[in-house]
Copies of this chain bind each other. A is one copy, B any other.
Amino acid sequence: MESLADKDNPQGILAIVHQRYTPIDELKHAAAPGAQKIRCAAALISPQDPGNVGTILRTIDAVGADALFLLDGGVELFHPTVVRSSMGTIFWKQIIQASFDEFVRWARKGNFQLIGTSAHGDVDYQTLVPQTPWILVLGSEQKGLSTVQSNACDVAVSLPMKGRVSSLNLAVAAGVLLYQYCVGQVDELPNG
C-alpha cells in the first residue's frame, strides 16, 4: 500500500480502473440520434500543470459543461495530481485528446463557436453571449494562445486585469469564464 500510494499515511483505499479516452473520430458520430451531444465544453492547449487540468475538470462538472478537450499534448491525463484534483470527475466526464488542427476541423463541421481567451482579446468577457454549441479555448500557462490559434477561434475574450500581474492562474480564468457562460444558460438548452 505504501509503495502504491502517492502520499504518506494513505487512507487504505485502492481502485483499479480502465483509462477511458474518447478519440475525436468517434466523436464525429455524436450527432446520431440518442448520442450524447456536446453543448458546451472547454479545450486546453498543452497545459503544463496537472493541478490545473484536474481543477478545470472539477469546474466543468460543477457548471454542467459536457466535455474537456486536451489538445497538442501537455500533462499526462492520468497523472496522480490530475486524478486527485479532479475529485473523480476524470472518471465520468468526456475527455477528448487530439491535435489542435484535428480539433478545429471537427469543431467547424459541428458549427461550434470557438471562444478564445487572451490578454489581448478584443471582447470583454462580460459582453459576450455565447452561441450554443460553444467551446472555450485556453492556451498553456506560459504561452497562452498563439496568433494562429487565436485566429482559428471565432471570437477572443479577455478578462480585465486591474493590477500589476498580467494574467490569472489558468484554472481560475477557466472557472470565471465557465461560470459566466454556463450558469443560467445551460439548463435551458435541450440535452441530446
Contacts and interface: CB of A to CB of B under 8 A. Distances in A.
Nearest to A168: B62
A153 interface: no
A85 B159 CA distance: 19
What is the interface residue range for chain A against chain B? 35 or more
A18 interface: no
Interface in A119-167: 126, 159-165
A12 interface: no
A61 to B, nearest CB: 3
Contacts of A174: 172
A75 interface: no
A159 B62 contact: yes
A108 to B, nearest CB: 28
A116 B63 CA distance: 20
Contacts of A183: 126, 160
Given A64-B162, A87-B165, 7 more contacts: A51-B51, A58-B165, A58-B169, A63-B162, A168-B175, A169-B171, A172-B175
